[in-house]
Amino acid sequence: MADQTAVFEAVREGMIPAHVYNDREIFELERDRLFNRSWMFLAHESEIPDVGDYVVRHVLEDSFIVTRDNKGEVRVMFNMCLHRGMQVCRAEMGNASNFRCPYHGWSYRNDGRILGLPFHQEAYGGEEGFKKKGQTLLPAPSMDTYNGLIFISLDPDAEPLEDFLGDFKFYLDYYTKQSADGVEVRGPQRWRVKANWKIGAENFAGDMYHTPQTHTSVVEIGLFREPKAEKRKDGNTYWATSGGGTTYKLPPGTLEERLAYVGYPAEMIERMKESWSQDQLDVIGRDGFMISAASIFPNISLVHNWPKVEDTDSDEVLPFISLRQWQPISENETEVLSWFIVDKNAPEEFKALSYKAYLMCFGSTGMFEQDDVENWVSLTNTAAGSMARRLHLNSRMGMKMDGSEVVPALTKEQFAGPGKAYVGYGEYSQRNLLSKWADYLEREPEPAKGISLGGAIRGEQGRTSCSEEQNR
Amino acid sequence: MAKLTADFGACQGYANCVVAADDVYDIDDDGIVVLLKEHIEESDRARVEEAARSCPVNALQVVDG
Protein backbone atom coordinates (compact mmCIF):
# COMPACT_ATOMS: atom_id res chain seq x y z
CA MET A 1 0.00 0.00 0.00
CA ALA A 2 1.22 3.47 -0.91
CA ASP A 3 2.66 5.73 1.76
CA GLN A 4 -0.01 8.33 2.49
CA THR A 5 2.07 10.51 4.81
CA ALA A 6 2.12 13.36 2.29
CA VAL A 7 -1.67 13.22 2.04
CA PHE A 8 -2.07 13.54 5.81
CA GLU A 9 0.43 16.39 6.00
CA ALA A 10 -1.37 18.30 3.26
CA VAL A 11 -4.77 17.71 4.87
CA ARG A 12 -3.51 19.06 8.21
CA GLU A 13 -2.50 22.27 6.45
CA GLY A 14 -5.96 22.63 4.96
CA MET A 15 -4.86 21.55 1.47
CA ILE A 16 -6.84 18.49 0.43
CA PRO A 17 -5.44 16.17 -2.25
CA ALA A 18 -8.57 15.90 -4.44
CA HIS A 19 -8.19 12.18 -5.01
CA VAL A 20 -9.12 11.40 -1.38
CA TYR A 21 -12.73 11.74 -2.54
CA ASN A 22 -12.44 8.77 -4.90
CA ASP A 23 -9.49 6.54 -4.10
CA ARG A 24 -9.62 2.80 -3.43
CA GLU A 25 -6.51 2.73 -1.24
CA ILE A 26 -7.75 5.59 0.89
CA PHE A 27 -11.10 3.85 1.26
CA GLU A 28 -9.40 0.66 2.44
CA LEU A 29 -7.46 2.66 5.03
CA GLU A 30 -10.72 4.25 6.17
CA ARG A 31 -12.27 0.81 6.58
CA ASP A 32 -9.35 -0.68 8.51
CA ARG A 33 -8.29 2.29 10.61
CA LEU A 34 -11.32 4.54 10.96
CA PHE A 35 -14.60 2.61 10.74
CA ASN A 36 -13.05 -0.37 12.56
CA ARG A 37 -12.30 1.87 15.57
CA SER A 38 -14.51 4.90 15.78
CA TRP A 39 -17.87 5.04 17.55
CA MET A 40 -20.53 4.48 14.90
CA PHE A 41 -24.22 5.33 15.13
CA LEU A 42 -26.68 2.49 14.49
CA ALA A 43 -30.18 3.38 15.65
CA HIS A 44 -32.28 5.36 18.10
CA GLU A 45 -33.93 3.60 21.05
CA SER A 46 -37.34 4.88 19.94
CA GLU A 47 -37.05 2.67 16.85
CA ILE A 48 -37.26 -0.40 19.13
CA PRO A 49 -39.70 0.72 21.86
CA ASP A 50 -41.18 -2.70 22.76
CA VAL A 51 -39.70 -5.99 23.93
CA GLY A 52 -38.67 -8.04 20.89
CA ASP A 53 -38.44 -5.06 18.52
CA TYR A 54 -35.37 -5.05 16.34
CA VAL A 55 -33.72 -3.29 13.41
CA VAL A 56 -30.79 -4.53 11.35
CA ARG A 57 -28.08 -1.96 10.63
CA HIS A 58 -24.56 -1.99 9.23
CA VAL A 59 -21.08 -0.75 9.88
CA LEU A 60 -19.77 -1.01 6.33
CA GLU A 61 -20.12 -4.74 5.48
CA ASP A 62 -20.79 -5.85 9.05
CA SER A 63 -24.46 -6.49 9.78
CA PHE A 64 -25.76 -5.98 13.33
CA ILE A 65 -29.10 -6.80 14.94
CA VAL A 66 -30.17 -4.06 17.36
CA THR A 67 -32.82 -5.57 19.64
CA ARG A 68 -34.72 -4.89 22.80
CA ASP A 69 -34.51 -8.24 24.57
CA ASN A 70 -37.16 -9.85 26.75
CA LYS A 71 -35.84 -7.99 29.78
CA GLY A 72 -36.11 -4.65 27.98
CA GLU A 73 -32.35 -4.24 27.52
CA VAL A 74 -30.94 -2.91 24.26
CA ARG A 75 -28.54 -5.40 22.64
CA VAL A 76 -26.37 -5.13 19.58
CA MET A 77 -25.26 -8.46 18.08
CA PHE A 78 -23.27 -9.40 15.03
CA ASN A 79 -25.76 -10.86 12.56
CA MET A 80 -23.84 -14.03 11.74
CA CYS A 81 -24.69 -17.56 12.83
CA LEU A 82 -21.93 -19.03 15.01
CA HIS A 83 -22.05 -22.25 13.00
CA ARG A 84 -21.61 -21.51 9.26
CA GLY A 85 -21.80 -17.75 9.19
CA MET A 86 -25.23 -17.30 7.65
CA GLN A 87 -27.18 -14.16 8.55
CA VAL A 88 -29.64 -15.18 11.26
CA CYS A 89 -31.90 -12.17 10.70
CA ARG A 90 -32.69 -11.28 7.12
CA ALA A 91 -35.44 -8.72 7.65
CA GLU A 92 -34.64 -5.05 8.09
CA MET A 93 -36.93 -4.53 11.06
CA GLY A 94 -39.59 -6.34 13.04
CA ASN A 95 -40.44 -7.97 16.35
CA ALA A 96 -39.12 -11.39 17.32
CA SER A 97 -38.47 -13.38 20.48
CA ASN A 98 -35.88 -15.47 18.63
CA PHE A 99 -33.84 -15.54 15.47
CA ARG A 100 -33.47 -18.79 13.55
CA CYS A 101 -30.73 -19.40 11.02
CA PRO A 102 -32.25 -20.55 7.73
CA TYR A 103 -29.23 -22.73 6.88
CA HIS A 104 -29.09 -25.48 9.55
CA GLY A 105 -31.73 -24.24 11.95
CA TRP A 106 -29.69 -22.98 14.87
CA SER A 107 -31.74 -20.46 16.81
CA TYR A 108 -30.93 -17.65 19.20
CA ARG A 109 -32.97 -15.78 21.81
CA ASN A 110 -33.34 -12.04 21.30
CA ASP A 111 -30.54 -11.45 23.81
CA GLY A 112 -28.25 -13.53 21.59
CA ARG A 113 -28.09 -16.75 23.62
CA ILE A 114 -28.19 -20.01 21.68
CA LEU A 115 -31.62 -21.58 21.99
CA GLY A 116 -31.78 -24.43 19.49
CA LEU A 117 -28.82 -26.46 18.28
CA PRO A 118 -30.18 -29.40 16.27
CA PHE A 119 -28.71 -32.84 17.05
CA HIS A 120 -26.42 -31.35 19.68
CA GLN A 121 -26.01 -34.75 21.32
CA GLU A 122 -25.72 -36.91 18.22
CA ALA A 123 -23.69 -34.56 16.07
CA TYR A 124 -21.33 -33.03 18.64
CA GLY A 125 -21.58 -35.38 21.61
CA GLY A 126 -23.39 -32.70 23.58
CA GLU A 127 -21.54 -30.22 25.79
CA GLU A 128 -18.40 -32.35 25.66
CA GLY A 129 -18.12 -31.59 21.96
CA PHE A 130 -19.63 -28.15 21.61
CA LYS A 131 -20.10 -26.01 24.68
CA LYS A 132 -23.33 -24.24 23.96
CA LYS A 133 -24.08 -22.98 27.48
CA GLY A 134 -23.38 -19.27 27.73
CA GLN A 135 -22.67 -18.92 24.02
CA THR A 136 -24.20 -15.95 22.28
CA LEU A 137 -24.16 -14.29 18.92
CA LEU A 138 -21.11 -12.02 19.06
CA PRO A 139 -22.00 -8.85 20.92
CA ALA A 140 -20.75 -5.57 19.43
CA PRO A 141 -17.25 -5.10 20.92
CA SER A 142 -18.33 -1.79 22.51
CA MET A 143 -21.84 -0.38 22.83
CA ASP A 144 -23.25 2.69 24.55
CA THR A 145 -26.03 5.24 24.19
CA TYR A 146 -26.43 9.00 24.52
CA ASN A 147 -29.91 10.61 24.56
CA GLY A 148 -31.25 7.32 23.19
CA LEU A 149 -28.79 7.28 20.27
CA ILE A 150 -27.27 3.79 20.09
CA PHE A 151 -23.60 3.70 19.11
CA ILE A 152 -21.17 0.83 18.76
CA SER A 153 -17.46 0.57 18.17
CA LEU A 154 -15.71 -2.43 16.68
CA ASP A 155 -12.82 -1.61 19.01
CA PRO A 156 -13.28 -3.47 22.32
CA ASP A 157 -10.98 -0.90 23.96
CA ALA A 158 -12.76 2.15 22.56
CA GLU A 159 -12.75 5.21 24.82
CA PRO A 160 -16.13 5.76 26.57
CA LEU A 161 -18.76 7.19 24.21
CA GLU A 162 -19.25 10.24 26.43
CA ASP A 163 -15.53 11.04 26.18
CA PHE A 164 -15.57 10.49 22.43
CA LEU A 165 -18.52 12.88 21.98
CA GLY A 166 -16.95 15.24 24.51
CA ASP A 167 -18.05 18.86 24.23
CA PHE A 168 -20.24 18.12 21.23
CA LYS A 169 -22.81 16.66 23.66
CA PHE A 170 -23.65 20.30 24.48
CA TYR A 171 -24.82 20.80 20.87
CA LEU A 172 -26.31 17.33 20.44
CA ASP A 173 -28.80 18.12 23.22
CA TYR A 174 -30.42 20.85 21.10
CA TYR A 175 -31.38 18.20 18.56
CA THR A 176 -32.09 15.22 20.78
CA LYS A 177 -33.16 16.53 24.20
CA GLN A 178 -35.77 19.24 23.86
CA SER A 179 -37.64 17.77 26.84
CA ALA A 180 -36.90 15.30 29.63
CA ASP A 181 -38.37 12.41 27.59
CA GLY A 182 -36.10 12.97 24.61
CA VAL A 183 -37.04 12.44 21.01
CA GLU A 184 -38.74 9.93 18.74
CA VAL A 185 -37.61 9.25 15.21
CA ARG A 186 -39.31 8.31 11.94
CA GLY A 187 -37.59 6.50 9.15
CA PRO A 188 -34.97 6.06 8.08
CA GLN A 189 -35.39 6.70 4.43
CA ARG A 190 -32.50 4.95 2.76
CA TRP A 191 -31.01 5.58 -0.67
CA ARG A 192 -27.65 5.49 -2.40
CA VAL A 193 -25.73 8.29 -4.06
CA LYS A 194 -22.64 7.94 -6.23
CA ALA A 195 -20.60 10.22 -4.02
CA ASN A 196 -17.84 9.82 -1.45
CA TRP A 197 -19.11 9.74 2.16
CA LYS A 198 -16.78 12.50 3.41
CA ILE A 199 -18.37 15.17 1.25
CA GLY A 200 -21.71 15.11 3.06
CA ALA A 201 -20.04 14.97 6.47
CA GLU A 202 -17.90 18.01 5.63
CA ASN A 203 -20.79 19.89 4.10
CA PHE A 204 -23.02 19.58 7.16
CA ALA A 205 -20.12 20.25 9.55
CA GLY A 206 -19.48 23.75 8.36
CA ASP A 207 -20.32 24.64 4.78
CA MET A 208 -22.52 27.68 5.23
CA TYR A 209 -20.70 29.10 2.18
CA HIS A 210 -22.59 26.90 -0.30
CA THR A 211 -26.06 27.84 0.87
CA PRO A 212 -26.60 31.10 -1.07
CA GLN A 213 -25.31 29.50 -4.31
CA THR A 214 -26.42 25.86 -4.29
CA HIS A 215 -29.79 26.50 -2.66
CA THR A 216 -30.75 29.72 -4.47
CA SER A 217 -33.90 28.19 -5.91
CA VAL A 218 -35.22 27.26 -2.47
CA VAL A 219 -35.12 30.93 -1.49
CA GLU A 220 -36.52 32.06 -4.84
CA ILE A 221 -39.67 29.97 -4.54
CA GLY A 222 -40.28 31.38 -1.08
CA LEU A 223 -39.89 28.13 0.87
CA PHE A 224 -37.13 29.45 2.99
CA ARG A 225 -36.77 32.71 4.81
CA GLU A 226 -33.16 32.43 5.90
CA PRO A 227 -30.40 31.22 3.60
CA LYS A 228 -29.65 34.49 1.88
CA ALA A 229 -25.97 35.27 1.78
CA GLU A 230 -26.19 38.18 4.20
CA LYS A 231 -27.95 35.96 6.73
CA ARG A 232 -25.42 33.15 6.64
CA LYS A 233 -22.35 35.29 7.15
CA ASP A 234 -23.77 36.61 10.43
CA GLY A 235 -23.98 33.12 11.89
CA ASN A 236 -21.04 31.29 13.41
CA THR A 237 -19.48 27.90 12.89
CA TYR A 238 -18.14 25.95 15.84
CA TRP A 239 -16.12 22.81 16.51
CA ALA A 240 -16.21 20.94 19.82
CA THR A 241 -14.25 17.66 20.37
CA SER A 242 -15.96 15.25 17.96
CA GLY A 243 -18.20 17.47 15.92
CA GLY A 244 -19.05 20.89 14.65
CA GLY A 245 -21.76 22.80 12.93
CA THR A 246 -23.24 26.03 11.68
CA THR A 247 -25.59 28.51 13.32
CA TYR A 248 -27.81 31.36 12.20
CA LYS A 249 -27.82 34.78 13.87
CA LEU A 250 -31.27 35.51 15.21
CA PRO A 251 -32.96 38.93 15.33
CA PRO A 252 -32.86 40.76 18.69
CA GLY A 253 -35.22 39.44 21.35
CA THR A 254 -35.57 37.33 24.47
CA LEU A 255 -34.91 33.58 24.60
CA GLU A 256 -38.64 32.94 24.23
CA GLU A 257 -39.01 35.37 21.34
CA ARG A 258 -36.08 33.86 19.50
CA LEU A 259 -37.32 30.26 19.88
CA ALA A 260 -40.77 31.45 18.75
CA TYR A 261 -39.12 33.18 15.78
CA VAL A 262 -38.03 29.80 14.40
CA GLY A 263 -41.49 28.39 15.06
CA TYR A 264 -41.50 26.64 18.44
CA PRO A 265 -44.80 26.80 20.35
CA ALA A 266 -44.75 28.17 23.92
CA GLU A 267 -45.21 24.79 25.63
CA MET A 268 -42.15 23.34 23.86
CA ILE A 269 -40.10 26.41 24.80
CA GLU A 270 -41.02 25.87 28.45
CA ARG A 271 -39.74 22.29 28.32
CA MET A 272 -36.52 23.38 26.59
CA LYS A 273 -35.93 25.79 29.48
CA GLU A 274 -36.18 22.85 31.88
CA SER A 275 -33.99 20.52 29.81
CA TRP A 276 -31.10 22.75 28.81
CA SER A 277 -28.31 24.23 30.92
CA GLN A 278 -27.91 27.97 31.40
CA ASP A 279 -25.07 27.98 28.86
CA GLN A 280 -27.20 26.09 26.36
CA LEU A 281 -30.00 28.64 26.83
CA ASP A 282 -27.54 31.56 26.64
CA VAL A 283 -26.33 30.54 23.16
CA ILE A 284 -29.86 31.37 21.97
CA GLY A 285 -31.25 33.88 24.46
CA ARG A 286 -28.13 35.93 25.25
CA ASP A 287 -25.89 35.41 22.21
CA GLY A 288 -28.60 35.10 19.55
CA PHE A 289 -27.36 32.02 17.69
CA MET A 290 -29.57 29.12 16.55
CA ILE A 291 -28.02 25.78 15.68
CA SER A 292 -28.54 24.59 12.12
CA ALA A 293 -26.50 21.84 10.37
CA ALA A 294 -23.81 19.79 12.15
CA SER A 295 -21.71 16.65 11.81
CA ILE A 296 -20.33 14.23 14.36
CA PHE A 297 -17.10 12.54 13.32
CA PRO A 298 -16.95 10.47 11.28
CA ASN A 299 -20.24 10.10 9.39
CA ILE A 300 -23.30 11.39 11.26
CA SER A 301 -24.96 14.67 10.40
CA LEU A 302 -27.81 16.67 11.88
CA VAL A 303 -29.87 19.48 10.49
CA HIS A 304 -32.27 21.95 12.11
CA ASN A 305 -34.06 24.39 9.83
CA TRP A 306 -37.30 26.33 9.83
CA PRO A 307 -38.98 26.63 6.43
CA LYS A 308 -42.38 28.08 5.62
CA VAL A 309 -44.77 25.14 5.46
CA GLU A 310 -48.01 27.00 4.66
CA ASP A 311 -48.49 28.29 1.14
CA THR A 312 -49.39 31.81 2.20
CA ASP A 313 -47.83 35.24 2.18
CA SER A 314 -47.17 35.09 5.92
CA ASP A 315 -43.65 34.63 7.21
CA GLU A 316 -44.72 31.85 9.57
CA VAL A 317 -42.15 29.05 9.77
CA LEU A 318 -41.91 25.66 11.41
CA PRO A 319 -38.75 23.90 12.58
CA PHE A 320 -37.73 20.34 11.78
CA ILE A 321 -34.75 18.19 12.73
CA SER A 322 -33.14 15.41 10.73
CA LEU A 323 -30.39 12.97 11.63
CA ARG A 324 -28.54 11.25 8.87
CA GLN A 325 -25.74 8.82 8.36
CA TRP A 326 -23.35 8.76 5.40
CA GLN A 327 -22.80 4.99 5.27
CA PRO A 328 -19.82 4.24 3.03
CA ILE A 329 -20.38 1.60 0.36
CA SER A 330 -17.18 2.24 -1.57
CA GLU A 331 -14.84 5.11 -2.38
CA ASN A 332 -17.48 6.52 -4.73
CA GLU A 333 -20.80 5.39 -3.32
CA THR A 334 -22.64 6.23 -0.11
CA GLU A 335 -25.86 4.95 1.38
CA VAL A 336 -27.73 7.79 3.04
CA LEU A 337 -29.95 6.94 6.00
CA SER A 338 -32.14 9.88 6.90
CA TRP A 339 -34.32 10.03 10.01
CA PHE A 340 -36.85 12.63 11.06
CA ILE A 341 -36.47 13.59 14.72
CA VAL A 342 -39.06 15.25 16.91
CA ASP A 343 -39.48 15.88 20.62
CA LYS A 344 -41.59 13.10 22.14
CA ASN A 345 -43.66 15.62 24.06
CA ALA A 346 -44.35 17.95 21.13
CA PRO A 347 -48.03 18.54 20.29
CA GLU A 348 -49.32 16.14 17.61
CA GLU A 349 -50.08 19.01 15.24
CA PHE A 350 -46.48 20.23 15.56
CA LYS A 351 -45.16 16.71 14.86
CA ALA A 352 -47.24 16.46 11.69
CA LEU A 353 -46.23 19.86 10.33
CA SER A 354 -42.61 19.39 11.31
CA TYR A 355 -42.55 16.09 9.41
CA LYS A 356 -43.97 17.87 6.37
CA ALA A 357 -41.27 20.53 6.67
CA TYR A 358 -38.59 17.83 6.83
CA LEU A 359 -39.94 16.03 3.76
CA MET A 360 -40.01 19.24 1.73
CA CYS A 361 -36.40 20.08 2.56
CA PHE A 362 -34.55 16.81 3.22
CA GLY A 363 -35.01 13.08 2.79
CA SER A 364 -35.09 11.40 -0.61
CA THR A 365 -37.56 13.98 -1.99
CA GLY A 366 -36.14 17.02 -0.22
CA MET A 367 -35.23 20.06 -2.26
CA PHE A 368 -32.00 20.78 -0.38
CA GLU A 369 -31.01 17.16 -0.84
CA GLN A 370 -31.42 17.29 -4.63
CA ASP A 371 -29.40 20.49 -4.89
CA ASP A 372 -26.55 19.11 -2.79
CA VAL A 373 -26.17 15.69 -4.34
CA GLU A 374 -25.73 16.92 -7.89
CA ASN A 375 -22.58 18.70 -6.71
CA TRP A 376 -21.32 15.76 -4.67
CA VAL A 377 -21.71 13.17 -7.43
CA SER A 378 -19.99 15.38 -9.97
CA LEU A 379 -17.13 16.14 -7.56
CA THR A 380 -16.65 12.44 -6.82
CA ASN A 381 -16.48 11.54 -10.52
CA THR A 382 -13.86 14.16 -11.23
CA ALA A 383 -11.80 13.13 -8.21
CA ALA A 384 -11.09 9.71 -9.78
CA GLY A 385 -8.97 11.06 -12.61
CA SER A 386 -5.26 11.69 -13.11
CA MET A 387 -5.49 15.45 -12.88
CA ALA A 388 -7.18 15.18 -9.49
CA ARG A 389 -3.97 13.54 -8.22
CA ARG A 390 -2.15 16.80 -8.89
CA LEU A 391 -4.62 19.23 -7.39
CA HIS A 392 -4.67 20.12 -3.73
CA LEU A 393 -8.02 21.75 -2.95
CA ASN A 394 -7.79 24.87 -0.86
CA SER A 395 -9.76 24.29 2.33
CA ARG A 396 -8.13 27.15 4.26
CA MET A 397 -11.02 29.60 4.34
CA GLY A 398 -10.85 31.71 7.49
CA MET A 399 -7.05 31.31 7.77
CA LYS A 400 -4.30 33.49 6.30
CA MET A 401 -1.11 32.19 4.59
CA ASP A 402 0.80 32.33 7.88
CA GLY A 403 -1.90 30.35 9.65
CA SER A 404 -3.32 33.33 11.53
CA GLU A 405 -7.07 33.82 11.71
CA VAL A 406 -9.05 36.11 9.40
CA VAL A 407 -11.38 36.88 12.32
CA PRO A 408 -10.78 36.12 16.00
CA ALA A 409 -12.64 33.27 17.70
CA LEU A 410 -15.68 34.31 19.72
CA THR A 411 -15.07 34.82 23.41
CA LYS A 412 -17.07 33.08 26.14
CA GLU A 413 -18.91 36.39 26.61
CA GLN A 414 -19.94 36.36 22.94
CA PHE A 415 -20.79 32.66 22.67
CA ALA A 416 -21.61 30.46 25.64
CA GLY A 417 -21.03 27.19 23.79
CA PRO A 418 -17.90 25.03 24.30
CA GLY A 419 -15.21 24.52 21.65
CA LYS A 420 -14.14 27.25 19.24
CA ALA A 421 -16.56 29.36 17.23
CA TYR A 422 -16.07 31.99 14.54
CA VAL A 423 -18.56 34.33 12.91
CA GLY A 424 -18.63 34.45 9.11
CA TYR A 425 -17.40 32.24 6.33
CA GLY A 426 -14.68 29.76 7.10
CA GLU A 427 -13.82 26.09 6.68
CA TYR A 428 -12.87 25.55 10.32
CA SER A 429 -15.12 22.53 10.84
CA GLN A 430 -14.10 20.84 7.60
CA ARG A 431 -10.43 21.18 8.62
CA ASN A 432 -11.14 19.80 12.08
CA LEU A 433 -13.07 16.86 10.65
CA LEU A 434 -10.36 15.95 8.16
CA SER A 435 -7.55 16.42 10.69
CA LYS A 436 -9.28 13.91 12.94
CA TRP A 437 -9.68 11.67 9.88
CA ALA A 438 -5.91 11.90 9.26
CA ASP A 439 -5.21 11.04 12.92
CA TYR A 440 -7.19 7.80 12.60
CA LEU A 441 -5.81 6.84 9.20
CA GLU A 442 -2.22 7.37 10.27
CA ARG A 443 -2.41 4.99 13.22
CA GLU A 444 -1.53 1.35 12.50
CA PRO A 445 -4.39 -1.06 13.26
CA GLU A 446 -4.15 -3.54 16.10
CA PRO A 447 -4.71 -7.08 14.81
CA ALA A 448 -8.19 -8.22 15.85
CA LYS A 449 -8.25 -11.11 18.32
CA GLY A 450 -9.88 -14.28 17.03
CA ILE A 451 -12.87 -15.65 18.89
CA SER A 452 -13.31 -19.42 18.72
CA LEU A 453 -16.62 -20.88 19.66
CA GLY A 454 -17.60 -23.92 21.59
CA GLY A 455 -14.55 -25.98 20.80
CA ALA A 456 -10.82 -26.20 21.25
CA ILE A 457 -8.36 -24.03 19.43
CA ARG A 458 -4.64 -24.21 20.11
CA GLY A 459 -5.47 -25.94 23.37
CA GLU A 460 -7.82 -23.22 24.59
CA GLN A 461 -11.54 -23.42 25.10
CA GLY A 462 -13.05 -20.61 23.11
CA ARG A 463 -16.29 -18.92 24.03
CA THR A 464 -18.17 -15.74 23.49
CA SER A 465 -18.73 -13.44 26.38
CA CYS A 466 -21.89 -14.39 28.19
CA SER A 467 -24.75 -12.10 27.28
CA GLU A 468 -24.96 -10.72 30.81
CA GLU A 469 -21.51 -9.25 30.37
CA GLN A 470 -22.36 -7.15 27.35
CA ASN A 471 -21.92 -3.43 27.96
CA ARG A 472 -24.94 -1.44 28.57
CA MET B 1 -59.43 -28.56 26.02
CA ALA B 2 -56.63 -30.10 24.00
CA LYS B 3 -53.68 -32.05 25.34
CA LEU B 4 -50.01 -31.55 24.50
CA THR B 5 -47.66 -34.50 24.05
CA ALA B 6 -43.98 -34.74 23.25
CA ASP B 7 -41.68 -37.59 22.20
CA PHE B 8 -38.68 -36.61 24.32
CA GLY B 9 -36.51 -39.26 22.69
CA ALA B 10 -37.20 -37.87 19.23
CA CYS B 11 -36.54 -34.21 20.15
CA GLN B 12 -33.28 -32.96 18.67
CA GLY B 13 -33.25 -29.47 20.15
CA TYR B 14 -34.17 -27.44 17.10
CA ALA B 15 -36.31 -25.16 19.31
CA ASN B 16 -38.56 -24.26 16.42
CA CYS B 17 -41.50 -24.84 18.77
CA VAL B 18 -40.06 -22.31 21.24
CA VAL B 19 -39.68 -19.75 18.49
CA ALA B 20 -43.31 -20.31 17.49
CA ALA B 21 -44.91 -20.48 20.97
CA ASP B 22 -42.57 -19.67 23.85
CA ASP B 23 -45.44 -19.61 26.35
CA VAL B 24 -46.11 -23.30 25.67
CA TYR B 25 -42.74 -24.82 24.79
CA ASP B 26 -39.26 -24.33 26.19
CA ILE B 27 -36.01 -26.20 25.97
CA ASP B 28 -33.85 -27.45 28.84
CA ASP B 29 -30.10 -27.29 29.28
CA ASP B 30 -29.70 -30.63 27.52
CA GLY B 31 -31.53 -29.26 24.51
CA ILE B 32 -34.71 -31.27 25.09
CA VAL B 33 -38.20 -29.82 24.80
CA VAL B 34 -40.10 -28.86 27.97
CA LEU B 35 -43.88 -28.61 27.97
CA LEU B 36 -44.83 -25.54 29.98
CA LYS B 37 -48.49 -26.58 29.87
CA GLU B 38 -50.25 -29.93 29.69
CA HIS B 39 -53.50 -28.60 28.33
CA ILE B 40 -54.52 -25.64 26.22
CA GLU B 41 -57.86 -24.04 25.44
CA GLU B 42 -59.53 -25.03 22.15
CA SER B 43 -59.40 -21.35 21.18
CA ASP B 44 -55.59 -21.50 21.28
CA ARG B 45 -55.35 -24.81 19.45
CA ALA B 46 -54.66 -23.51 15.94
CA ARG B 47 -51.67 -21.46 17.07
CA VAL B 48 -50.15 -24.26 19.16
CA GLU B 49 -50.72 -26.84 16.42
CA GLU B 50 -48.77 -24.62 14.08
CA ALA B 51 -45.95 -24.50 16.61
CA ALA B 52 -46.05 -28.30 16.97
CA ARG B 53 -46.00 -28.77 13.19
CA SER B 54 -42.86 -26.62 12.97
CA CYS B 55 -40.90 -29.45 14.64
CA PRO B 56 -38.58 -30.91 11.98
CA VAL B 57 -38.53 -34.36 13.67
CA ASN B 58 -42.29 -34.64 14.45
CA ALA B 59 -41.73 -34.86 18.19
CA LEU B 60 -44.81 -32.80 19.11
CA GLN B 61 -48.53 -33.49 18.97
CA VAL B 62 -51.69 -31.71 20.00
CA VAL B 63 -54.43 -34.29 20.71
CA ASP B 64 -58.03 -34.22 21.91
CA GLY B 65 -58.59 -34.43 25.63
Asked whether residue A306 falls in the same domain as residue A393, the answer is yes
Name the residue range of residue A45's domain.
41-145
* Closest-CA distance of chain A to residue B41, Å: 23
- Within a domain: residue A467? no
Assign B47 to helix, strand or coil: helix
Residue A158 CA to residue A143 CA, distance in Å, equals 9
Interface of chain B against chain A, CB under 8 Å?
Answer: 12-16, 18-19, 22, 27, 29-31, 56
Sign of the CA dihedral running A196, A201, A207, A211:
positive
Tell whether the model's pLDDT for residue A472 goes beyond 50: no
Average pLDDT for residues A426-452, to the nearest whole number? 91
Evaluate whether residue A107 is within a structural domain.
yes
Q: In this structure, is residue A5 part of a structural domain?
A: no
CATH node for B2-64: 3.30.70.20
Tell me the per-residue pLDDT of A88-121, one tens digit each, with 9 for 90 and over.
Answer: 999 999 999 999 999 999 999 999 999 999 999 8
Tens of pLDDT, residue by residue over A172-225, are 999 999 999 999 999 999 999 999 999 999 999 998 888 878 888 877 877 777
Distance of residue B34 Cα from the nearest chain A Cα, in angstroms: 13
Q: Do A91 and A171 belong to one domain? A: no
Cross-chain CB nearest to B14 (options A105, A122, A126): A105
* Of the partner residues B12, B22, B30, the one whose CB lies closest to the CB of residue A118: B12
A348 and A204 assigned to the same domain: yes
The pLDDT tens digits of the residues spanning A302-352 come to 999 999 887 666 778 999 999 999 999 999 999 999 999 999 999 999 999
Question: pLDDT digits over A379-413, tens only?
Answer: 999 999 999 999 999 999 999 999 999 999 999 99
Q: How confident is the model at residue A455 (pLDDT cuts 50, 70, 90)?
A: low
> Cβ B31–A116 below 8 Å, yes or no?
yes
Q: Do A126 and B30 touch (CB under 8 A)?
A: yes
Please check whether residue A136 is in contact with residue A117, taking contact to mean a CB–CB distance below 8 angstroms: no
B-chain residues near A83 (CB < 8 A): none
Whether A133 and A170 share a structural domain: no
Q: CA of B59 to nearest chain A CA: how many angstroms apart?
A: 13
User: How many A-B residue pairs are in contact by the CB < 8 A criterion?
Assistant: 49
Judge whether residue A367 has pLDDT over 50.
Answer: yes
Q: Which sequence spans correspond to the domains of chain B?
A: 2-64
Q: Provide ipTM, 2 decimals.
A: 0.80
User: Based on the domain organization, do A48 and A194 belong to the same domain?
Assistant: no
Do A408 and A312 reside in the same domain of the chain? yes
Whether residue A261 lies inside any domain: the answer is yes
| Lowest mean pLDDT across A106-115, A205-214, A353-362, B20-29 | A205-214
Q: Nearest residue of A to residue B23 by CA position? A: A97
Enumerate the residues of chain A whose CB falls inside 8 A of the CB of residue B19. Answer: 97-98, 100, 107, 115-116
Residue A405 confidence (pLDDT): 93
- A9 falls within a domain: no
Per CB-CB distance under 8 Å, the chain B contacts of A105 are 14, 16, 56
User: Can you give the CATH number for the domain in which A57 is found?
Assistant: 2.102.10.10
